[in-house]
Structure 1
Amino acid sequence: MDDLEHARARTWLIVGLPLALGGVLPALMILRNVVHPLLPWWRLGVAAVALVVFTWLGVRVSRALVEGGPYPLREASVSGVLAAVAGGVGGAEPYGWGFVPLAWLAVASGGVRRWVAVVQAAGTAVFLIGSALFWVARGESTMTVFGLDWTAWVVVVVVIYAAMCAVLPPSTRLWLWIWQLARQAHEGREARARLAVAEERLRFSRDMHDIVGHQLSALAVKSALAVRLAEGDGDAAKAEMTEVRDLTRKALRELREAVRGYRELDLTAELHSVKSVLEAAGVRCELRLPGRDAAGDVVGDVAGDLAGAAAPVLAVVLREAVTNVLKHSEAGFCAITLRLGPEGTTLEVRNDGVARRQAADLGSGLAGLGERLAAVDGTLSARPAGDGEFHLRAVVPR
């Protein structure tokens, strides 16, 4: 379960807890009435029916608040009436039926404006205080068994209900606000990842235009010229078709290089590029490279210190690794380390957002990288480290 799912589960817990208590506490009061009959059963029956329908509607209101749908005004209004019926008829004890209107207040106040929530809280407090004292005055409340005098009951009821009505709405609204921020942050991360993918596609399309567009234009001109020369000057037409053949081979070779990701892929440029992309996505990036100055900036050309095909292959590995960090993790930090040693060149990418996929399932992207590294006798490993981090390590021998 990732961070977003944890936030959703905790929000459901906060929003659903008052509803759960609003069902459990009245159920205990009904069981108590079975053992020690204090209230008429017709009152408990009416209150129980109202409670069942209220709970059903309350779950629907809660789902709309947590999932971000429009505020269900009709369900919230009807459930408010049912909560008043259940709480008022049941006896409005703070430890029993009186918690049903409090559960409604906790849920219904989560999706309205602040002043509306204040009005809801004040109205609920007045209703519960009035209902509780009404049944106490009539001697038809379970609270009378405690033997307190009238003044004490007024103080107890006012303090309890005023405090509960003051605390429940801000608590629910705070958690819903935090959940909304978490969801927006997650959506923003996904949008930035999609933007990074779109930019890469645009970059690739530009490469295709530069390679294929120019070569096809030259082929079209040469072919048209050869057709015109074919009738009068066969040798000239043959020379033009020879150039067409050479241009075709060159275009095919450059196209293959571009598709494989090797064309003009500079490791130094990729290091700077992925750092800026990660930081733009809200992921703190730390580069640990050979040849850095005191400020931590790259000095010279990192790829220039690498021999053979190591630099372009590692540039492709780096690009794919950072793309996976953006798309498949919840990282807030990413460390990129490049080491040059006698055994070869090692690239490590470490982030603190463990990928959703399992270590045994590296996906087609990382599997393809493994094949590319194998072509230059390199190795690739990518797995969760067990401490909430994901490590990718690529080694290219000298």
Structure 2
Amino acid sequence: MPEMEDKGITRARRIVLVTLNMTLVVVWVIVLLSSAAGLVLRTLPPARVIPALIGLVVFSWLFLRITRAVLDHRYATREVVIAGVLALVLSALGGGSPTGWGFVPLGWLSVAAIGLSRRRAVLLGLATTLVTSPLSIWGMLTVTDHSWAGTADGSVAGFIIGVLLYNTLMCSIFPWANRLWVWIWQLAEQAHDGKEAQSRLAVAEERLRFARDLHDLVGHQLSAIAVKSELAVRLAPDPEAAGAEMAEVRSLARKALRELREAVRGYRELDLVAELGSVRGVLEAAGVDCRLHLPYRDVPAGVAPVFAWVIREAVTNVLRHSTATVCDITVRFNGEEAVLEVTNDGVTPRPVEDLGSGLAGLTERLAAVGGTLTARPNGSGEFTLRAVAPVLAGVPA
């Protein structure tokens, strides 16, 4: 499961990085279309387009460095500043059209605002509006023949207001779109780190509990054995007394060994309730809807540990070998037998025999307590694993 979680967070990082870099793709598409139109209409000289395209390549390199830094929790100040200055230069070289080279500063803003506080992001958007709007207005007025200004609706004043509104709207939207994606990524990363921390804490707590149990169960007997052994040495001249002490040593050693075996056996058994909660969380984290159908009474103690192993292996197979979206886990029992069914809707094309050695091991476990295990498609596009065991079954040591 840790490997699956690592793959999931890596895939999420890749998706967010591609999403951030899609802004750069949009910039290139708009710039290339605008430049082609400008060259055809002769409103944009080739002497300005060529150096602008070279500069855009450099801008793209800086843009990619900025987005990688964002996902590494760094703010690439140097790259942001250089890319910002270059974006303004490219906008001026390309004529500053809001739907052409003037779009480059907007692409820069979409990543430059990531990692800043809300207040600074708003101020950066406002500053970008104030700087890019004059460039856009100047560029559009210098590269056109002003034939559109002959009517009231197409007046220069109306054009200026339109450019201001357009830039204001774009500079208000662009910073927040990518900030939302990064925020979602950070939530996913925090959840992943939280799971790792929880797992490490659980392991540490289990180690402490194991050490405490061993100390409480065996420590007293081992201390007594040491004392009795020393006493036996001192009583060596008296064979009868020494023999009595050594007999007590043997009794204490056997008792310590028995309690140690009981402690270890307890760690080998799984808790059914805990396992149900664990597999439900794992399935839902993997995007599988887990539905539990449980009896109102506790499953008999002799059957519960075996069913816990069955559930663990069944869910492992669901995650590894199926394309399930729904998994139903049903437990029921009466006075004679207990039944566990794990059904999923992602039937694997592989035969049951190819699902690994886990099912064979489960079959042996159930056979040891007089139970049976079956695993096969049920004919309705679902796969069902069914375990049956007598309720009076005991768990093998």
Of residues 39, 44, 66 in structure 2, which corresponds to 1:39?
44
Of residues 208, 211, 216 in structure 2, which corresponds to 1:210?
216
Of residues 151, 161, 170 in structure 2, which corresponds to 1:164?
170
Of residues 71, 81, 102 in structure 1, which corresponds to 2:85?
81
- State which drifts further: 101-110 or 146-155: 146-155
Q: Does 1:71 align with 2:68?
A: no
The alpha carbon displacement at 1:162 in A equals: 1.5
Structure 1 contact 18–102 (Cα < 8 Å) conserved: no
2:234 is matched with: 228
The alpha carbon displacement at 1:362 in A equals: 6.9
1:19 is matched with: 24
Structure 2 contact 35–100 (Cα < 8 Å) conserved: no
Taking the aligned partners of 2:222 and 2:343, their CA distance within structure 1 comes to 43
The alpha carbon displacement at 1:72 in A equals: 1.2
Cα pair distance change 1:62/1:223, threshold 3 Å: same
2:129 is matched with: 125
Letter in 1 for 2:52: A
Taking the aligned partners of 1:151 and 1:342, their CA distance within structure 2 comes to 89
State percent identity of aligned pairs: 47
2:339 is matched with: 346
Letter in 2 for 1:244: V
CA-based RMSD of the aligned residues comes to 4.6
TM-score normalised to the size of structure 2? Answer: 0.73
Structure 1 contact 80–101 (Cα < 8 Å) conserved: yes
Q: SS at 2:339's partner residue?
A: strand
What does residue range 209-358 of structure 1 map to in structure 2 within 5 Å? 209-233=215-239, 235-261=240-266, 270=271, 289-290=294-295, 292=296, 302-303=299-300, 306=302, 310-314=303-307, 337-341=330-334, 344-347=337-340
- State which drifts further: 10-19 or 99-108: 10-19
- Cα offsets for 1:343-372 (capped at 9, x unmatched): 6323467899xxxxxx967798x9876664
Structure 2 contact 275–308 (Cα < 8 Å) conserved: no
Structure 1 contact 219–248 (Cα < 8 Å) conserved: yes
1:61 is matched with: 66
Cα pair distance change 1:209/1:192, threshold 3 Å: same
The unaligned stretches of length 5 or more in structure 2 are: 321-325, 346-351
The alpha carbon displacement at 1:220 in A equals: 1.4
- State which drifts further: 249-258 or 143-152: 143-152
Structure 1 contact 33–39 (Cα < 8 Å) conserved: yes
Structure 1 contact 106–168 (Cα < 8 Å) conserved: yes
Letter in 2 for 1:17: M
Q: Does 1:178 align with 2:184?
A: yes
Taking the aligned partners of 1:351 and 1:212, their CA distance within structure 2 comes to 45
Cα pair distance change 1:220/1:370, threshold 3 Å: farther
The alpha carbon displacement at 1:101 in A equals: 0.4
Cα pair distance change 1:45/1:311, threshold 3 Å: closer
1:116 is matched with: 120
Taking the aligned partners of 2:118 and 2:246, their CA distance within structure 1 comes to 78
Of residues 29, 32, 35 in structure 2, which corresponds to 1:30?
35
Cα pair distance change 1:204/1:110, threshold 3 Å: same
2:205 is matched with: 199
Letter in 1 for 2:125: A
Taking the aligned partners of 1:21 and 1:275, their CA distance within structure 2 comes to 48
Structure 2 contact 371–387 (Cα < 8 Å) conserved: yes
Q: SS at 1:231's partner residue?
A: coil
Q: SS at 1:30's partner residue?
A: helix
1:356 is matched with: none
- Cα offsets for 1:308-340 (capped at 9, x unmatched): xx345446667x67998xxx9xxxx99875422
Cα pair distance change 1:76/1:393, threshold 3 Å: farther
Cα pair distance change 1:214/1:374, threshold 3 Å: farther
Structure 2 contact 128–171 (Cα < 8 Å) conserved: yes
Cα pair distance change 1:107/1:311, threshold 3 Å: closer
Taking the aligned partners of 1:338 and 1:37, their CA distance within structure 2 comes to 77
- Cα offsets for 1:230-280 (capped at 9, x unmatched): 2222x33233333333433343343334323368x7x8xx46666888999
2:349 is matched with: none
Structure 1 contact 262–313 (Cα < 8 Å) conserved: no
Q: SS at 1:98's partner residue?
A: helix
The alpha carbon displacement at 1:93 in A equals: 1.4
Taking the aligned partners of 1:25 and 1:80, their CA distance within structure 2 comes to 18
- State which drifts further: 33-42 or 108-117: 33-42
The unaligned stretches of length 5 or more in structure 1 are: 293-297, 353-358
The alpha carbon displacement at 1:212 in A equals: 2.8
Letter in 1 for 2:134: G
Taking the aligned partners of 2:373 and 2:148, their CA distance within structure 1 comes to 73
1:106 is matched with: 110
2:195 is matched with: 189
Cα pair distance change 1:377/1:177, threshold 3 Å: same
Structure 1 contact 381–392 (Cα < 8 Å) conserved: yes
The number of residues matched between the two structures is 366
Cα pair distance change 1:311/1:39, threshold 3 Å: closer
